[in-house]
């Protein structure tokens, strides 16, 4: 048995314990099988870590994921399941490329200066550096994953899986290439998916402009643009509003709602596009909102998703006026070469000069930004690779409807169906260098396009050697979408891990990437394996600061939300417990430092309680509880054992329902409020009495502590393992708590009568303590008491020493009887049919207390009179309503306090 130090210092134990766990092989499923702690034919549990991006350090979101996933893993490992928690990391195409390019810019070099191969080599160097840092941070969080199975989305095995998946879907016609409206990031020079676009609020303008209408009087401009006379002679105009004047140059039509009477006469007419003089058609389309602007809109099919659809319906030209970097191209006429926002300013000035700018209004709206670099995205038609999402989405909805895959909390199923029903084809190509290069080859001598499993040397159609591979790489989410099964060995379906652990059991992640990732995994797994990737999707919420604000790097105090800082300040267990228990599935949580302090205090509480128990075990072995006859157990023993087994049953049900936060809170409440504050205090009566039988309380204390540590271990692994290792060998189950069996409820210990009787004792103690506090009785002073207990007199008499100890009563002046006449000049405590009378003369100096209370009452009555006078005067009519209401509330509180003082004075009389 190891002696515990006076205080618990996490730094003394966490790294040592983690290294020992790993060295013993406890994280590996093979170890559990070899030690016969699990069976290869028995139940299993598998979860794959959401792979963090290799772009820096872990944040609180990663810590939340790690805490919850390791909690699940430890729980199922202790239940005897063959358990695999598989770690890994993501190459994070755009994010990593951006970071490496920023590093290169410090050297005055671009990726184009290096060339593709050299740049990719620099990305690998960055990956190695950040990967080691991220792995060490995960270890600090205490996650019990099998590091020998760690995977990376660009390693050989996963690259083979990506190629197999792409080629399979390509050959099935589910992947195609074509022109489409995409979200284009001018900074990344790449297409990005809808889910990689973040909407941000912008204060901007709405520019009202007008285009001249072609009629008998005016056929087109006779003067150059910028002369101030460009529209001279025009007699009719159509007015419209735009938030993006720079896209005027790509207009190929004007649209109006066919039901809008204001513009019906212009449908089919031609108008002249300013600057370029191009004649464009006015078309009717129901997509136009009559209430926006003037009800007429310019149509730029190459630079707006809605305009793209309108253009397709009316066969309007798609004119791209920007380059890949967001500068104006040759189609922009005199504005060619200008950056898009510089063009906006210039064209507005020119419109005003030409008399075509009607007015400018302030306008607040949302604008899409690249999730990775925060550049404003540009809708743009581009030839890209796509996955046909509709047929895949149908099956993804089906598995949720059938219950094959459940989402926790259930309310997110509605969101799942809405998104799947409105899904668009998934753009999977990115104009990057870092990532999985698209495995498609083209022949220069014929029109062959194919996707082989091995790199080809000749064209399969014409035999030509003039072939080349597509330059683009795949969207990171394509490889991440294969994660639940590619990490287990797929496409080799005969590996042990694939046979044993596929499909996996759980996907735990934030609700914010339900469609970024969970949807991709589900659709790809169904398409490639004909099965859902996992049985359950558990969604946690976002972590905000104590004021409910989103935590960002720009915050002045962002440092205090760094997981490593929190671990240094409070310990890993405090962070893990706080993250696991401070929210419910799918709901955001506010990370209040007081919660972290509370969790640290909880760790210290159970440490001190354990230290007290171990110091009071005495010499020799402690008798196992199973060897003690039940009739030797006293009320408090039967009560705590009943509460322990009630807790064990409740926690099991909560864990099975994925209510992990509530399970952790229940364990904490039991240990702190019931075990430490009541049972341990009650046992001191026997442990400190040389005449008492100490064997029973020692046995019960150890039994309850050991079982409670097992319940708490998934939430606070380090402090529980440290304490557990210090317990006598006779009560420990196995060599380590991490592999000890999960507690099982024994209904034989459930004792409703003991719980009722002990609750009476506790309520009486609370009542007596409240009276002592009310009269400021010194903590060490023992007071007299008379108890009218009715039919419970025998029960209270049997446990009189406990009541005396807990309530600080004078044993020689304590009388417990069945009936008793009310006692004058006493304070009373009533619990059910039991009444306790506490003589006031024994609590306070009656005369001095009466004088103090009367002075307080007189002062309070003066304040009440002043408030009543104020409310009866002009104040009540002239002051703001809120101020008057506040004064009324204050008066009511003072009146209540005065009543209480009067009652206390009466009791003293």
Tens digit of pLDDT for each residue in 495-525?
999 999 999 999 999 998 898 899 999 999 9
CA 897/CA 875 separation, integer angstroms: 24
pLDDT at position 552 is 66
Q: The tokens 């191969």 sit on which residue? A: 117
Radius of gyration (Cα) for the chain, nearest Å?
37
Angle at alpha carbon of residue 215, lines to 211 and 216, rounded to 5°: 150
- Residue 205, both tokens: 């303008």
Show Cβ contacts of residue 162 under 8 Å, excluding neighbours closer than 6 positions.
Answer: 436, 474, 478, 479, 482, 486
Q: Is 406 helix (H, G, I), strand (E, B) or coil?
A: strand
- Residue 706, both tokens: 């050991």
pLDDT at position 125 is 93
CA dist 476 → 89, 92, 287, 750, 805 (Å): 12, 6, 34, 54, 65
pLDDT at position 617 is 87
pLDDT at position 392 is 96
Query: If we measure between CA atoms, which residue out of 723, 407, 717, 654 comes closest to residue 534?
Result: 407
The overall average pLDDT reported for the chain is 92
Judged on CB neighbours under 10 Å (0-12, 13-18, 19+), 659 is: middle
Tens digit of pLDDT for each residue in 532-565?
999 999 999 988 888 888 776 666 777 788 899 9
- Residue 481, both tokens: 């979408």
pLDDT at position 71 is 98
Q: Which of 49-63, 479-493, 557-571 has the highest mean pLDDT?
A: 479-493
Tens digit of pLDDT for each residue in 195-240?
788 889 899 999 999 999 999 889 999 999 999 999 999 999 999 9
Tens digit of pLDDT for each residue in 80-97?
999 999 999 999 888 899
CA dist 753 → 619, 639, 762 (Å): 34, 9, 14
Other beta carbons within 10 Å of 403: 8
Tens digit of pLDDT for each residue in 243-257?
999 999 999 999 999
**DSSP alpha helices (H): ranges in 616-734?**
635-656, 660-669, 681-687, 695-712, 717-726
pLDDT at position 1 is 57
CA 639/CA 626 separation, integer angstroms: 17
631 band by pLDDT with thresholds 50, 70 and 90: confident
pTM recorded for the entire structure: 0.85
Tens digit of pLDDT for each residue in 732-744?
888 999 999 999 9
Tens digit of pLDDT for each residue in 674-723?
999 999 999 999 999 888 888 899 999 999 999 999 999 999 999 999 99
Which helix or strand (DSSP H or E) is residue 702 part of? helix 695-712
- For residue 808, pLDDT over 90 is answered with yes
> Above pLDDT 70, what percent of the chain?
99
CA 667/CA 658 separation, integer angstroms: 15
Contact between 509 and 518 (Cβ < 8 Å) = yes
Other beta carbons within 10 Å of 559: 10
Contact between 579 and 63 (Cβ < 8 Å) = yes
Mean pLDDT of 9-28: 96
Query: If we measure between CA atoms, which residue out of 75, 67, 84, 68 comes closest to residue 150?
Result: 84
Q: Judge if the upstream peptide bond of residue 874 is cis by omega within 30 degrees of 0.
A: no
- Mean pLDDT is lowest, of 319-333, 620-634, 718-732, for 620-634
User: Going by DSSP bridges, is the β-strand pair 237-242/449-450 parallel, antiparallel, or unpaired?
Assistant: unpaired
Contact between 755 and 717 (Cβ < 8 Å) = no
CA 297/CA 299 separation, integer angstroms: 6
CA 479/CA 156 separation, integer angstroms: 12
Strand partners, 207: 242, 360
Tens digit of pLDDT for each residue in 347-387?
999 999 999 999 999 999 899 998 878 899 999 988 999 99
> Above pLDDT 90, what percent of the chain?
73
Tens digit of pLDDT for each residue in 789-798?
988 899 899 9
- For residue 847, pLDDT over 90 is answered with no
DSSP state of 276: T
DSSP 807-869: HTEEEEEEEEES--PPPSSEEEEEETTEEEEEEGGGTS-HHHHHHHHHHHHHHHHHHHHHHHH
pLDDT at position 554 is 62
Contact between 716 and 67 (Cβ < 8 Å) = no
Where does residue 504 fall: left (phi above 0), alpha (psi -120 to 50 degrees), or beta otherwise?
beta
- Residue 444, both tokens: 């220069």
Show Cβ contacts of residue 629 under 8 Å, excluding neighbours closer than 6 positions.
Answer: none
Query: If we measure between CA atoms, which residue out of 435, 434, 431, 460 comes closest to residue 448?
Result: 460
CA 695/CA 628 separation, integer angstroms: 9
576 band by pLDDT with thresholds 50, 70 and 90: very high
Tens digit of pLDDT for each residue in 258-305?
999 999 899 999 999 999 999 999 999 999 999 888 999 999 999 999
- For residue 904, pLDDT over 80 is answered with no
């Amino acid at each position: 048995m190891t002696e515990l130090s006076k205080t618990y210092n996490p730094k003394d134990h966490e790294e040592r314990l983690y290294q020992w766990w790993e060295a013993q092989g406890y994280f590996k499923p093979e170890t559990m099988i070899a030690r016969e702690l699990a069976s290869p034919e028995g139940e299993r549990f598998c979860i794959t870590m959401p792979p963090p991006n290799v772009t820096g350090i872990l944040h609180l979101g990663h810590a939340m994921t790690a805490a919850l996933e390791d909690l699940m893993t430890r729980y199922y490992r202790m239940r005897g399941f063959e358990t695999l928690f598989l770690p890994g990391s993501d190459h994070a195409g755009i994010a990593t490329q951006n970071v490496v390019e920023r590093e290169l810019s410090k050297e005055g070099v671009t990726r184009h200066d290096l060339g593709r191969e050299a740049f990719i080599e620099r990305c690998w160097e960055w990956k190695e550096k950040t990967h080691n840092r991220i792995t060490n941070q995960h270890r600090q969080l205490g996650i019990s994953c099998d590091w020998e199975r760690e995977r990376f989305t660009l390693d050989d095995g996963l690259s083979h899986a990506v190629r197999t998946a792409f080629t399979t879907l390509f050959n099935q016609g589910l992947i195609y290439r074509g022109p489409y409206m995409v979200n284009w990031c001018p900074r990344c020079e790449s297409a990005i998916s809808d889910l990689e676009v973040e909407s941000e609020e912008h204060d901007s303008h709405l520019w009202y402009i007008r285009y001249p209408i072609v009629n008998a009087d005016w056929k087109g401009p006779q003067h150059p643009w910028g002369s101030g006379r460009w529209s001279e002679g025009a007699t009719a105009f159509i007015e419209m509003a735009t938030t993006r004047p720079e896209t005027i140059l790509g207009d190929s039509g004007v649209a109006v709602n066919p039901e809008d009477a204001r513009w019906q006469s212009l449908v089919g007419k031609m108008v002249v596009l300013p600057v370029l003089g191009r004649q464009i058609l006015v078309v009717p389309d129901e997509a136009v909102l009559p209430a926006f602007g003037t009800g007429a809109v310019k149509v730029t099919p190459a630079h707006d998703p809605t305009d793209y659809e309108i253009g397709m319906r009316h066969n309007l030209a798609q004119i791209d006026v920007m380059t890949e970097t967001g500068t104006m191209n040759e189609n922009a006429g005199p504005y060619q070469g200008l950056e898009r926002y510089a063009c906006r300013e210039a064209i507005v000035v020119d419109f005003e000069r030409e008399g075509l700018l009607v007015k400018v209004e302030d306008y607040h709206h949302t604008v899409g930004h690249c999730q990775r670099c925060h550049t404003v995205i540009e809708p743009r038609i581009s030839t890209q690779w796509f996955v046909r999402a509709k047929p895949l989405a149908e099956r993804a909805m089906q598995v949720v409807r059938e219950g094959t895959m459940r989402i926790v909390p259930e309310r997110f199923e509605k969101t799942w169906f809405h998104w799947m029903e409105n899904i668009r084809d998934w753009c999977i190509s990115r104009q990057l260098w870092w990532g999985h290069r698209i495995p498609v080859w083209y022949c220069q001598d014929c029109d062959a396009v194919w996707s082989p499993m091995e790199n080809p040397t000749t064209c399969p159609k014409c035999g030509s050697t003039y072939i080349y591979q597509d330059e683009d790489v795949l969207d990171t989410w394509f490889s991440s979408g294969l994660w639940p099964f590619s990490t287990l060995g797929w496409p080799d379906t005969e590996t042990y891990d694939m046979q044993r652990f596929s499909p996996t059991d759980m996907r735990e992640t934030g609700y914010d990437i339900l469609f970024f990732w969970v949807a991709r995994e589900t659709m790809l797994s169904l398409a490639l394996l004909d099965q859902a990737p996992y049985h359950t999707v558990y969604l946690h919420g976002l972590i905000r600061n104590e004021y409910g604000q989103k935590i960002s790097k720009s915050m002045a105090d962002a440092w205090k939300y760094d997981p490593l800082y929190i671990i240094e300040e409070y310990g890993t267990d405090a962070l893990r417990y706080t993250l696991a228990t401070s929210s419910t599935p799918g709901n955001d949580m506010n990370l209040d430092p007081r919660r972290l302090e509370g969790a640290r205090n909880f760790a210290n509480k159970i440490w001190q309680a354990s230290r007290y128990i171990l110091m009071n075990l005495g010499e020799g072995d402690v008798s196992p509880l199973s060897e003690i006859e039940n009739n030797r157990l006293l009320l408090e023993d039967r009560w705590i054992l009943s509460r322990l087994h009630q807790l064990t049953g409740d926690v099991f049900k909560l864990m099975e329902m994925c209510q992990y936060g509530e399970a952790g809170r229940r364990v904490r409440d039991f240990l702190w409020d019931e075990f430490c504050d009541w049972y341990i205090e009650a046992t001191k009566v026997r442990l400190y009495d040389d005449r008492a039988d100490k064997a029973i309380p020692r046995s019960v204390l150890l039994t309850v502590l050991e079982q409670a540590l097992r319940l708490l271990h998934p939430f606070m692994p380090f402090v529980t393992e440290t304490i557990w290792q210090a317990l006598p060998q006779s009560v420990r189950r196995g060599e380590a708590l991490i592999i000890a069996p999960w507690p099982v409820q024994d209904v034989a210990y459930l004792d409703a009568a003991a719980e009722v009787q002990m609750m009476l004792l506790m309520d009486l103690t609370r009542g007596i303590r409240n009276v002592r506090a009310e009269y400021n009785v010194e903590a060490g002073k023992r007071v007299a008491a008379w108890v009218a207990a009715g039919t419970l007199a025998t029960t209270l008499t049997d446990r009189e020493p406990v009541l005396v100890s807990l309530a600080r009563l004078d044993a020689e002046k304590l009388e417990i009887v069945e009936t008793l006449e009310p006692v004058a000049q006493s304070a009373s405590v009533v619990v059910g049919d039991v009444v306790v009378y506490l003589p006031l003369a024994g609590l306070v100096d009656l005369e001095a207390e009466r004088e103090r209370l009367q002075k307080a009452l007189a002062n309070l009555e003066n304040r009440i009179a002043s408030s009543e006078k104020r409310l009866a005067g002009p104040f009540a009519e002239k002051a703001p309503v809120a101020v008057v209401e506040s004064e009324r509330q204050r008066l009511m509180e003072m009146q209540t306090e005065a009543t209480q003082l009067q009652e206390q004075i009466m009791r003293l009389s």
